[in-house]
Copies of this chain bind each other. A is one copy, B any other.
Amino acid sequence: MIKAIVNISLKAGVLDSQGKAVHHALESLHFNAVKDVRVGKQIVLQLDCDDKKKALADVTKMCEDLLANTVIEDYDIELV
């Protein structure tokens, strides 16, 4: 079993309205040290596979095909 952690975030320059809303809410709660907030997704996959190289190739394909919108999102993959 390999655990793959995929972090998906909006590319720099893409408007993050969810992040802006969270930032505004934190300011309302008087957390004034916060200068920027970006909200992304974290997808944790359990793979029935023992070959890390194959797992990385598979998860990369999953990201390209389904998990990430590569026009506006970046992803990074960590295998545990």
For A36, the chain B residues whose CB sits under 8 A away are 45-46
Residues B29 and A48 in contact, CB atoms below 8 Å apart: no
Any B CB within 8 A of the CB of A71: no
Tally chain A residues at the interface, Cβ within 8 Å: 34
For A49, the chain B residues whose CB sits under 8 A away are 33
| Bitwise interface map of A from 4 to 31 toward B, beta carbon under 8 Å scored 1, else 0 | 0001110000000001001001100101
Residues B25 and A66 in contact, CB atoms below 8 Å apart: yes
Residues A47 and B35 in contact, CB atoms below 8 Å apart: yes
Residues A22 and B43 in contact, CB atoms below 8 Å apart: yes
Q: Which of B38, B39, B41, B45 contacts A34 (CB 8 A)?
A: B45
8 CB contacts below 8 A, A to B, read A22-B43, A33-B48, A33-B55, A34-B62, A35-B48, A37-B44, A37-B46, A39-B41
